[in-house]
């Protein structure tokens, strides 16, 4: 599906009922659906098949005003001009990694110590594409005339600040972001990497970062739009339209949802969605199996395609953890499990990018009802 063949949608949303932020929520272990779970037994429970058309409608709760207000507050938070370059593992020793971010060519590579280096992707001499140049002894050597770059300024080439958090690689582009620079990216709390199973998925869409963030700030669509992955989804707390933007943790959505495993297995959890900066939304499991696990969604503007449409790269980082003794086996089997996690993420983002692209298309034609 392309943006020129938009997915059909239901008729325009009726006026949303005003709703207040709910602050007091019963703990997840008091829920009837979770009481049957053994404390240390298998996290799975059996559930009857759900008739998709007979689910409880969520359109009245999914207030466009609440989503728009949350999006506006996230856009006002500082990013320090940091943008995701890609998965850390994709920037390997001995080879360059190139990406265009908001129309700016960036090249990254690693020196002999494995340190991440980054800078303009065009050679300052005659503009050669440095993403195609070899790395020799930790130096990026232009393949047109041999200009060697060691990550320090040379011949008019000046490096960009770069950061490797062990999962994602970042670059700071002050001329693009235009904000007060920060020394490091705005990163959410994560479970210890040594105790986590990590996987990173990337997907590109024709939309802007705000369309991706808006999708993630609409948790109500989960069980309807992704019935193959989620069921029994209830938003138990949503921020008010006038929520405090300074409190990024409190200014979020809390949901109770069951992750589907196979045809009848489910894993019920409570999860919180927050937006710590303009291009990032974090889903954190706060109660239930895998508590403290996070899924980070980062939206990076790439630039316009040959038709002038904006392109955005979605980078989704999963850091899954568990205090179950058997989880050590899952970490040991990470090379086998990562492709499965990536496949599941890619399936979700196939649909969610259709949502984001549709939103961008409607905004661009003045027909977006939100």
The angle, 0 to 180 degrees and rounded to 10, between the axes of the packed helices 64-75 and 209-216 is 130
Strand duo 82-87 + 45-46: pairing: unpaired
pLDDT band (50, 70, 90) for residue 257: very high
Give the model's pLDDT for residue 21: 36
CATH, domain range 43-77+188-364? 3.30.530.20
* pLDDT given at position 22: 35
Check pLDDT > 80 for residue 272.
Answer: yes
Predicted confidence at residue 9, as pLDDT, reads 41
| CATH code matching the domain that covers 82-177, chosen among 2.30.30.110, 2.102.10.10, 3.40.1260.10, 3.40.640.10 | 2.102.10.10
pLDDT at 209 > cutoff 90: yes
pLDDT above 60 (res 356): yes
pLDDT value, residue 260: 86
Q: Band of the pLDDT at 41, cuts 50, 70, 90? A: low
What rounded mean pLDDT belongs to the chain? 88
The 8-class DSSP code of residue 241 comes to T
| Among candidate residues 258, 229, 234, 233, the one with its CA nearest the CA of residue 346 | 229
Per-residue pLDDT band for 240 (boundaries 50, 70, 90) equals confident
Residue 16 banded pLDDT, cuts 50, 70, 90: very low
| pLDDT top residue among 144 and 23 | 144
Taking residue 234's Cβ as centre, other Cβ atoms within 10 Å add up to 16
Q: What is the pLDDT of residue 102?
A: 97
**Helices within the chain (DSSP H only):** 32-35, 64-75, 174-177, 209-216, 222-225, 327-332, 334-364
Give the confidence band of 13 by pLDDT, cuts at 50, 70, 90.
very low
With a cut of 80, say whether residue 37 has pLDDT above it. no
What 8-state DSSP symbol labels residue 45? E
Torsion angle of alpha carbons 86, 92, 93, 98, nearest 10°? -50
pLDDT in tens, 313-323: 999 999 999 99
Model pLDDT, residue 330: 86
What pLDDT, on a 0 to 100 scale, did the predictor assign at position 248? 67
For 242-286, the three-class secondary structure string (H helix, E strand, C coil) is CCCCCCCCCCCEEEEEEEEECCCEEEEEEEEEEEEECCEEEEEEE
Above 90 in pLDDT, residue 36?
no
Q: What is the pLDDT of residue 42?
A: 60
The model's confidence at residue 110, banded by pLDDT at 50, 70 and 90, is: very high
Q: Evaluate if residue 52 carries a pLDDT over 70.
A: yes
d(CA 321, CA 294): 9
pLDDT per position as a tens digit, 176-200: 999 999 999 999 999 999 999 999 9
- Alpha-carbon span 249 to 188, nearest angstrom: 10
pLDDT tens digits for range 116-135: 999 999 999 999 999 999 99
* Token pair in block for residue 311: 């392109």
Q: How many CA atoms lie within 13 A of 128 on its CB side?
A: 16
The residue-averaged pLDDT of 142-170 equals 96
What pLDDT band is residue 265 in, cutting at 50, 70 and 90?
Answer: confident
The domains of the chain are located at 43-77+188-364, 82-177
The pLDDT of residue 39:
44
The backbone torsions φ and ψ at residue 282, rounded to the nearest 5 degrees and listed phi first, read -115, 130
Residue 350 CA to its chain's centroid (Å): 13
Residue 2 above 60 pLDDT?
Answer: no
pLDDT in tens, 79-88: 999 999 999 9
């Amino acid at each position: 599906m392309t943006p020129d063949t938009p997915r059909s949608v239901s008729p325009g949303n009726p006026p949303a009922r005003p709703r207040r932020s709910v602050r007091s929520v019963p703990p997840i272990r008091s829920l009837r659906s979770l009481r049957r779970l053994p404390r240390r037994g298998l996290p799975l429970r059996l559930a009857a098949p759900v008739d998709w058309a007979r689910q409880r409608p969520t359109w009245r709760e999914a207030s466009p005003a609440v989503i728009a207000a949350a999006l506006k507050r996230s856009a006002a938070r500082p990013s320090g001009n940091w943008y995701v370059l890609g998965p850390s593992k994709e920037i390997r020793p001995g080879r360059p990694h190139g990406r265009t971010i908001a129309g700016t060519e960036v090249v990254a590579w690693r020196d002999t110590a494995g340190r991440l280096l980054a800078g303009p992707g065009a050679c300052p001499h005659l503009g050669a594409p440095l993403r195609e140049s070899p790395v020799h002894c930790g130096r990026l050597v232009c393949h047109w005339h041999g200009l060697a770059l060691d990550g320090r300024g040379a011949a008019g080439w000046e490096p960009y600040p770069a950061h490797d958090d062990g999962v994602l690689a970042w670059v700071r582009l002050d001329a693009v972001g235009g904000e007060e620079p920060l020394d490091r990216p705005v990163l959410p709390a994560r479970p210890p990497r040594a105790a986590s199973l990590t996987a990173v998925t990337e997907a590109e869409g024709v939309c802007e970062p705000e369309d991706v963030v808006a999708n993630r700030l609409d948790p109500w669509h989960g069980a309807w739009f992704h019935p193959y992955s989620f069921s029994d989804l209830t938003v138990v707390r949503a921020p008010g339209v006038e929520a405090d933007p300074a409190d990024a943790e409190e200014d979020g959505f809390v949901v109770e949802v069951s992750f589907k495993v196979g045809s009848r297995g489910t894993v019920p959890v409570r999860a919180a969605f927050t937006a710590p900066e303009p291009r990032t939304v974090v889903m954190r499991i706060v109660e239930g199996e895998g508590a403290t696990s996070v899924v980070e969604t980062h939206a990076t503007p790439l630039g316009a395609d040959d038709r002038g449409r904006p392109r955005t790269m979605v980078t989704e980082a999963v850091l899954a953890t568990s205090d179950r003794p058997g989880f050590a086996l899952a970490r040991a089997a990470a090379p086998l499990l990562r492709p499965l996690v990536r496949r599941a993420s890619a399936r979700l983002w196939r649909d969610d990018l259709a949502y984001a692209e549709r939103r961008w298309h409607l905004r661009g034609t003045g027909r977006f009802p939100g």
